[in-house]
Structure 1
Amino acid sequence: MPRLFLLQRTVTLLSLHRAMCSGVQLRVSPGRCLYDESLRLQVSGLSPGQHVTLRTELTDEGGELFSSLGRYQAGSSGELDLSQSPALEGGSFTGIEPEGPLWAMEPRDPLRRLLKKDVLCPFQLRFSLHQEPSGALLASAAQERGFMGEGVTRLPVRKGRVRGSLFLPPGPEPFPGVIEVQGTGGGLLDYKASLLASKGFATLALAYYNFEDLPKKMKDLRLEYFEEAVNYMLQHPKVKGPGIGLLGHSKGAELVLSMASFLKGITATAVVNGSIANVVSALHYKDITLLPVGYDSSKLTFPVPGIADIRDVYLNPLEEPNRQSLIPIGNADCKFLFIVGEDDRNWNSTFYAQAACKLLEEQGKEKPEVVYYAKAGHYIEPPYFPLCKASMNKAAGFPVIWGGEPKAHSVAQVDSWQKIQAFLHKCLNQQSTPSKL
């Protein structure tokens, strides 16, 4: 064992020495940035036509390694520029893909999803360039990708029953306010909220179960809790009124639809792959109860052994007796944006968005904006997060596939992130701001 260790250490040191002496330079810019910013990667000092492999690695907070490989051939001057140089066959992506090293990363554990739980600590990206076919290291570089822009502050919220994190942009003026609600994972995930604050929104990442003194299980949720969060934002001196925006994904999208349907003070609601039916647990508000929609387990399929496709298991909430779970979105008095991954395998988001349009039209409400993305799956995240192909579904209690193809899914993430910001800015900044006593 000692000899093997010494041999491995010697090989590593020799590779590093060759990289230092090769004259090859790998430049990644900027050195520090937000996670949703574009990537600039350039290489110089190669031989004309030289074949190389670019390896990108990220280790998440749980120790899981995510990585991608890009194969390239240097130009006539011995240079590479990912914005101009096409990736060759045999790697994780092909063609001209400046951000390919990011969105094409895959975990060692096929059921792992990339998450960020501590937004105060950036992710550390590692890039290494290797000679083909020997694998010798030619150059390396690193980059920090964070979640809080300069001057953004994070305030833990423990107001009444409300639990979460409030992110405030820098500056003395009030900002358009947004409440962001995540899916069935529970706890507090605030990476989207922190990124939104970096774009000029006062954003509350709202926990609703399995966090501190909140209920441990997602059971019999009460909308009064969410109403208290809305009132907290409306009364905050840093939040521009008279209304706020909502952003939700999956179960969170379903919850923001319920908030918009029953609560006052909502100006805009952005829904990412959401259901118009109440799912998993009952939702109560005053003397009203929305029961969870039923399901047909015979419609479960297993395209991969041990990993289910649950897209078609939920019953149609537009048909009796399932209408007792239907969210009455026709009662809402706000503008809507629906982001739809057409290959969402969690449920039929396309059907739900189309049904929402019909229900709003029947009530004489303004037609919502709906954006469809072909070959995009369920977990539409901020830009450059790698596609989560499958993971444990806490509501179902077993692993499921989420859908999507990596390249198309990445395009959807970049485009939808911009559309969500534009929608919220337009709706919330057009409001007349009342004076706050």
Structure 2
Amino acid sequence: MVCLSISPKVALVDERISITVSKLRPLQRVTIQVWVEEGKAVFSSCGHFRADQQGQVDIDQHASLGGTYRGVDGMGLFWSLKPVPGISKDPLLRKVDVTTPLVFRLSVIDGHILRKDLQLPTTVVLVTDTLQRWYKHSSVRRIEVRDGSIRGTFFLPVGEGRFPGVLDMFGSAGGLTEFRAALLASKGFACFALAYLRYDDLPSSMADIDFDYFLDAVDWLVSHPSVLPGGIGVVGTSKGGELAFLLGMSTNQNE
């Protein structure tokens, strides 16, 4: 029976994953496929491999000869994930609920199968297994924040004492995006995912937002007893990046 080994099977999304296949025929051609579904997003990838003389494939050492990536790359099956044509209704793979993992299904298929043909009933699946990849470590605390007008989620690492603080903001699409803050907290940062638009009772238009809201959020994080004194970091994407820049300018002017 063909064996598929995945290590670790539960990991953070930025951890390296080791994938090996054994008990194949010497020089057997196989396709290794990765499949993940999250909301309306359905993504997949695949690599074409040839087993060695011992009937083994090690993704870290054996080159992919085709599929969604080529060459030797232990994480190629993950960075080359693409939306599944005709099935995925979202072009982006985004984690909304960080209290649950992304669940990846790995399959080893006999022969070098083209990606568009991987779901045909004629394919011979030799073995399957699953892998969980998390944005939030199980030890990280997720704390909803409703303090005055401030809304968001505070992610706090495990342990006593204080941690470096980070304010995290995303773009003008609004809502609350937590995956980056959860991952930063998993790496030892006290991270505040700040909502500022189209969330809870917050405004639905940027024109209705006062910059003092962001200054208040900075003050909230700086004064939190779990945050190291001496300042915080700010990270932003899209409109959040612009706001991070403005906060930096405001802080420098105040000094």
Matched, 1:50 2:38: no
Residue correspondence of structure 1 range 19-418 to structure 2 within 5 A: 23-60=1-38, 62-89=39-66, 91-108=67-84, 109=88, 112-132=91-111, 135-263=123-251, 331=253
Distance in 2 between residues matched to 1:81 and 1:132, nearest whole Å: 17
Q: Normalising to structure 1: TM-score of the pair?
A: 0.54
Q: Which residue of 1 aligns with 2:115?
A: none
Q: Assess if the C-alpha contact under 8 Å between 2:42 and 2:89 holds in 1.
A: no
Secondary structure in structure 2 of the residue aligned to 1:175: coil
Distance 1:181 1:261 in 2: 16
Q: Report the identity percentage.
A: 37
Contact persistence 2:40–2:90 (CA under 8 A): no
Structure 2 CA distance, aligned partners of 1:103 and 1:184?
Answer: 26
Q: Count the aligned residue pairs.
A: 243
Q: What is the deviation of 1:40?
A: 0.7
Structure 2's unaligned 5+ residue stretches are 113-121
Structure 1 runs of 4+ off > 6 angstroms? none
Output the amino acid matched with 1:74: A
Q: Which residue of 2 aligns with 1:362?
A: none
Contact 1:57 1:67 in 2 (8 A): yes
CA pair 36-68 structure 1, distance change in 2 beyond 3 A: same
Amino acid at match of 1:258: L
- Distance (Å, rounded) in 2 between the aligned partners of 1:78 and 1:207: 52
State the alpha-carbon separation in 1 of the partners of residues 194 and 26 from structure 2: 54
The answer to whether the 8 Å contact 1:227/1:263 transfers is no
Equivalent-residue separation in structure 2 for 1:145 and 1:218 (angstroms):
34
Measured in 1, the distance between the counterparts of 2:77 and 2:210 equals 43
User: Which SS does the other structure have where 1:151 is aligned?
Assistant: coil
Larger radius of gyration: 1
Query: Are residues 169 and 45 of structure 1, via their aligned partners in 2, closer, same or farther at CA, if it must alter by over 3 Å?
Result: same
User: How high is the TM-score relative to the length of structure 2?
Assistant: 0.91
> Hey, what's the Cα distance between the residues in 1 that align with 2:69 and 2:125?
21
Larger helix fraction of residues: 1
Q: In angstroms, what is the RMSD of aligned CA positions?
A: 1.6
User: Residue 27 of structure 2: SS of its match in structure 1?
Assistant: coil
Q: Deviations over 1:202-234 (max 9, x none)?
A: 000011101000012333432100001001011
